[in-house]
Structure 1
Amino acid sequence: MFKWMTGKKTSEETKTHSLSVEELKEELKQELNACSDLTFRTLTKEGKKILFCYLSSLIDKNGLDQDILDPIIKSTQSKWTPESLAQILPIAQLSAVNKLKEVIQALIEGQIYIYIDGEPYGLLADAAKTVERSLEKAETESLVYGPKIAFTESLLGNINILRNNLKDPNLCMEDLTIGTRSKKQAKLVYIKGVADDENVNTFRQRINDLDIDHVADSTVLGQLLESNSWTVFPQLITTELPDRISIALLSGKVAVLMDRSPDALYGPTPFFTFFESTEDVYMRWNMGFFLRMLRLLATFLSVLLTPAYVSVLTYHYEVIPSPLLVSLGQSRSQVPFPPVFEALLLEFIIELLREAGARLPTKVGQTMGIVGGIVIGQAAVDAGFTSNILIIIIALSALGSFTTPSYLMGTAIRIIRFPIIIMAGLWGGIGIMVSFCFFLIHLIKLDTLGRPYLAPIYPFRWRDLGYSVFRIPPKYLPYRPVTNHPENPYRFPPKKAKRKKDVDE
C-alpha cells in the first residue's frame, strides 16, 4: 500500500524516530524558519499522540479533513502503528520516511507528514493542492489546421495530454529532479526502440550534471543544456504544442517536460527544424512544400534586402537600372545621412515598435504596431530622415523575419541583420559575402545534443531533405530522419506503400 523511503542511515541526517512529538515540532520550525503557514495538529488515540504536519498554503484542506482526520477519528482500532494507520487511510500515495531532510522536502511539495509518537518512521500523505489553469488554445504558436490544445503549467496534466496523443506502450518517462535549492520535478520522455540511446543519454547526463539553485522554466533549461551559450542561434526547441512533441518523439527525438512550465523542450533540433510547422504535416504535401519554401525565402530576403540596399547605394551604383536610379536619387535627395546610418536607424525604430507592441496589452499593442509604423514611417519620409524605398525594404525584411514559426529563431534572424548591415556599409558586397561566410562557418561548427546543426545539408543526407528542407508525399517517406539516428529506421514498410489499394484491382 505504501513504499519505503528510509534509505541508508548517515551521521549527518536526523532521524525522526529519535525525536518526541514536541522535539519534532521544534526541529521543523527551525528548519523551515518558523514560516507562518507551517501547521501542526495533534490527536490522541489510545494514549498515543499522532502529529500532523503540513504547510496550510499547499494542501487541500477538504482532503485533509475527509481522507485523513475523519477516518482516524472514527476508527475504533486499539493498536496504532504506521502499518495500521495506512490500512484505514483512503489515499493512494502513501510513503514511509524517517529522515528529517526528506520530511521537509515533502512538506514543501504539499504533502502531509503523519507521525505516531514512539514509532520508527512516519507516513507521508499526498494532499497537494496546485493552482492550475484550464486547457486553452496555443497563443505563441497559432495554427489554422491541426489540434489547438496547448500545454499548461501542470506536469501531470501535460503527461496526460501526451499519453492521450501517443498511446504507445514503449513511451518512456523517466523522473528527473532539476535544481539544488528549489527542486522541480521533470520527465525525460522518449519512445523506446525509436529514440537513439546516445541522444537519451546525452539529454539525461546534461540535466543530471546541472548544479544550479533554481531553473525557472524549460526555456531556461534549454539555455543551460546547449553546447554553445555564446551563439545567437537556439540549439533546442521549446514548444507549447503537444502534437509537435508527439511528431518529434515518433521521429526519434527526446523531450523534457518540467513542472510549472507551459512549454516542452526537445532535441536534437538542427537549423532547418526551426522553420518547420505542424501545419506542414496536416496540409497536403504540395501546400506544405510551398509554405516551407516561402518561409526559407522570406528569411533569406529578410537578412539580405537591407544590407543589399546599403551596399548598392554606397559602392555599387552601376548595378541599378537607370530608371530606378533616377527614382532612388529623387527619393534620397533630401536625406542628409549615409545609407548605412539611415538603414540602422529604421531597423532600430522597427525593433522598438515591435518590442513596445509585445509589452503592451494585446489590443493596445496591435494598435501601437500599426498606427506607430504608419505615422512614424510617413513622418520620417516627410522630415527627410529616410527614403520611401528604404521604408518598403525595411517593412519587407520585418515581415520576412515574422514568418519563422520559432520565436527564438525569428529574433536571431533580426539580430544578425545589424552586423551584416554594418559590414555592407564598410565593404559593400564583399562585406556581405564575408558576413555570410562567417555565419555559415559558425553554423557548421554548432551542434545540437552532439548532432550536426546544419544537417541534412552538412553532412549531406538526401533522405532527410523530405522532412526538413522540402515536403514530399508521405508515402515516399518510409524512413525516419537519419539525423536523429533512430533505432527503428522505418515508419512503415516501403513495399506496402507502393501496392495498389483498390479492391477491384
Structure 2
Amino acid sequence: MFKWLAGKKKTEGTKPHSLTIDGLKEQIKSQLNVGEDLTFRTIKHGGNKLVCCYMKSLIDKTALDEFIVAPIQENTHNEWTYESIVQILPIADLSAQNQIDDVVEGLNAGYVYIYVEGQPYGILGNVSKTVERGIEKAETESLVYGPKIAFTESLIGNINILRQNIKDTNLCMEDLTVGTRTKTEAKLIYIKDIADEENVNEFREKISQLEIDHVPGTTVLGQLIENNSWTVFPQLVTTELPDRVSIALMRGKVVVLMDRSPDALYGPTPFFTFFESTEDVYMRWNMGIGLRVLRLLAAFMSVLLTPAYVAVLTYHYEIIPSPLLVSLGQSRANVPFPPVFEALLLEFFIELLREAGARLPTKVGQTMGIVGGIVVGQAAVDAGFTSNILIIIIALSALGSFTTPSYLMSTSIRMIRFPIILLAGFWGGIGIMVAFCFFLIHLLRLDTMGGSYLSPVYPLRWKDLGYSFFRVPTQYLSKRPISNRPIDVQRFSPQKAKKKDVDE
C-alpha cells in the first residue's frame, strides 16, 4: 500500500490509502499551480507502470534522459520496485518519499519524482539545473593585493571556494532554511574549536526564529537579525570576498551564506572592523597602519569638514585668519544663500551625481561622475550659487567617505553629514558638539551580537588594538582577539615564530 497523507500538514488519525498514478497526478497538480511546466512522463513494461514527475524549467533534460529514463528502460529483466529502481539509478542524491509535502518541495527544488504504481514509496532524484555565473573579480570591494575572486549566487560554489581556503576538519556548516514561502537554503559556518558557542547560538536562534515569507539576500538577513534596526550604522559585515570571510572565521567570527546571494554575512563586527581591508594583511605592517589610520581620519574629516565650514562662517568667523577671511569674503560676495543652505545644496548635488553614476553602465557612469562634477561645480560657482572654497570642501568630504572599504558604512557616513550640517547652521560649534556627543553615546549603546560596538576601544583591550585600530607585525599577533571570545585563543607559539640566524 502506498502511504500518502493528503494536504499540507501531517495529522494524526489520517489513515493511509492507496494511490494510482492518476491519483498521484491529481494530488500533485492540486498542490502545484504551474501549468505546463509540471510534466508527467509515463513508462510501461509488461505489467509494470511507472511515472516520472518533474518541472521542465528546473531540471537538466540531458541528466534526466541519461541517468533516469535510460537505465529504467534498459531494466526489462527485473520487476520494477522502488528498491530495484534505486539500485540501477547512477545518481548519488536519492531519497525515498511518500508524503505530498516532501514531494512538492523536491519538485520545486529541481528533483524528479519516480513512482512505480502499487509501491509504498516513490524516489526523489536530484537532476536540477542551476543557472549561475562564473567566478569573477570582486566589484564592490576592489583590491590591489590579495586574491581577487568573489562569491557567486551559487551556495554550493561558495562553499567550495571556502573549503579550498580552510581545510580544517573543525570547520562546521549547519543547514538552515530562510523564508517560509521561498525556503531559501542557508549555511551557518564557524570553526568549532575557535568560535564562541554563545555567538553561534545567537546566530542560529535568530535565523531559525524568523517568521517571514521571503528574504532576498544576506544584506536583508543582517537587518532582520541585528539587535538595533533603527540605527544608521550597520552591525554586521556583508562581503563578497572569500578571503575576508576566511580571515574572519580564523578570528572566531560566525558566517552565514545564502543561496542566490553573492555576499557573505558575518559577525560580531565592531565599528572599527568596517574600516579594515584584506589588503592590510598582505601589506607590510607599517603601510597597513598608515592606510588604516588614513581611512579613519578620512571618515572623521568627511563627517565634520562641511559642518565646520558652516559653523565658522555663520557664528565663529573671528577664528579665521585675516588673509583667509578676505579670500572667503570675496568668494562669497555674490552668493545669495546662507552657508547652511549652500552646503546642503552642494551635498545634494554630490549625492545626486554619485547615485546617477552608480546606476548607469560602468563606462558611462565613470564619465558622468567626472564630467558632471566638473561641469556642475564650475557652473554653480559662475552662477553665484556657491563659493570656490565650499566646492573644495565638499569634494574632500566626498573623497573621505569613499575611502571606507565597507559600502554600508560609507553610505552611513554620508547620511549623517546632513543632520550635523543642519545643527551647525542652527547653533554653530555647539551644534556640532551636540551631534558629536549624540552619535558617541549612540555608538556606546550599540552592540553587535552581544559584544560592544566600539570594542576594543570600549571596553579598552590593548592586545586587540593590533587587529582593529592598528596593524602590528604578524609575529606579534600570537593570540586571537579576545573581543570575539574565542575558545582557542592561541594562534601560534611566539617562541617558534621568532626568526633564527642561519648559523643556528
TM class by shorter chain equals over 0.9
Query: Hey, what does 1:48 align to over in structure 2?
Result: 48
Query: Hey, what does 2:502 align to over in structure 1?
Result: 503
Change (3 A) 1:504 1:16: farther
Q: TM-score, normalised by structure 2?
A: 0.97
State the 4+ residue runs in structure 1 displaced beyond 6 angstroms: 12-17
AA matched with 1:257 = L
For 1:186, what is the secondary structure of its paired residue? strand
Provide Cα deviations, 1:123-179, integer angstroms capped at 9, x if missing partner: 000000011111110011000000011111111100100000101111110011111
AA matched with 2:108 = I
Query: Hey, what does 1:408 align to over in structure 2?
Result: 408
For 2:80, what is the secondary structure of its paired residue? coil
Q: Percent identity?
A: 73
Change (3 A) 1:166 1:383: same
Provide Cα deviations, 1:392-446, integer angstroms capped at 9, x if missing partner: 0000000000000000000000000000000001111111011000000001111
Q: Does the 8 Å CA contact 1:59/1:128 hold for their aligned counterparts?
A: yes
Query: Hey, what does 1:210 align to over in structure 2?
Result: 210
Change (3 A) 1:14 1:356: farther
CA distance, structure 2, for counterparts of residue 307 and residue 402 of structure 1: 18
For 1:36, what is the secondary structure of its paired residue? helix
CA distance, structure 2, for counterparts of residue 194 and residue 16 of structure 1: 48
CA distance, structure 1, for counterparts of residue 79 and residue 191 of structure 2: 48
CA distance, structure 1, for counterparts of residue 160 and residue 419 of structure 2: 45
Q: Does the 8 Å CA contact 1:17/1:98 hold for their aligned counterparts?
A: no
CA distance, structure 1, for counterparts of residue 110 and residue 82 of structure 2: 20
AA matched with 2:466 = G
For 2:187, what is the secondary structure of its paired residue? strand
Query: Hey, what does 2:59 align to over in structure 1?
Result: 59
> Within 5 A, what are the aligned runs for 1:365-404?
365-404=365-404
Number of residues paired by the alignment?
A: 498
AA matched with 1:120 = P
Deviation at 1:34, TM superposition (A): 4.5
Q: Does the 8 Å CA contact 1:17/1:118 hold for their aligned counterparts?
A: no
Change (3 A) 1:406 1:34: closer
Query: Hey, what does 1:109 align to over in structure 2?
Result: 109
For 2:35, what is the secondary structure of its paired residue? coil
Change (3 A) 1:17 1:492: farther
Query: Hey, what does 2:456 align to over in structure 1?
Result: 456
CA distance, structure 1, for counterparts of residue 487 and residue 396 of structure 2: 43
Query: Hey, what does 1:260 align to over in structure 2?
Result: 260
Q: TM-score, normalised by structure 1?
A: 0.97
Provide Cα deviations, 1:221-265, integer angstroms capped at 9, x if missing partner: 111111111111001111110000000000000001111111111
Query: Hey, what does 1:192 align to over in structure 2?
Result: 192
Provide Cα deviations, 1:282-308, integer angstroms capped at 9, x if missing partner: 111111110001100000000010000
AA matched with 1:484 = N
Query: Hey, what does 2:229 align to over in structure 1?
Result: 229
Deviation at 1:46, TM superposition (A): 3.5
Change (3 A) 1:423 1:13: farther
Change (3 A) 1:13 1:222: farther
Residue 460 of structure 2 is aligned to residue 445 of structure 1? no
Q: Structure 2: which 5+ runs fail to align?
A: none
Provide Cα deviations, 1:46-77, integer angstroms capped at 9, x if missing partner: 31211110001000001010101101101133
CA distance, structure 2, for counterparts of residue 465 and residue 13 of structure 1: 62
Q: Does the 8 Å CA contact 2:138/2:148 hold for their aligned counterparts?
A: yes
Query: Hey, what does 2:19 align to over in structure 1?
Result: 19
Change (3 A) 1:346 1:185: same
> Within 5 A, what are the aligned runs for 1:12-411?
18-411=18-411
AA matched with 1:63 = A
CA distance, structure 2, for counterparts of residue 174 and residue 257 of structure 1: 10
CA distance, structure 2, for counterparts of residue 76 and residue 97 of structure 1: 24
Deviation at 1:13, TM superposition (A): 10
CA distance, structure 1, for counterparts of residue 216 and residue 45 of structure 2: 44
Q: Structure 1: which 5+ runs fail to align?
A: none
For 1:376, what is the secondary structure of its paired residue? helix
Q: Does the 8 Å CA contact 1:218/1:265 hold for their aligned counterparts?
A: yes
Deviation at 1:29, TM superposition (A): 1.0
Residue range with higher mean Cα deviation, 488-497 or 395-404: 488-497
Deviation at 1:81, TM superposition (A): 1.3
CA distance, structure 2, for counterparts of residue 218 and residue 375 of structure 1: 38
For 1:125, what is the secondary structure of its paired residue? strand
For 1:18, what is the secondary structure of its paired residue? coil
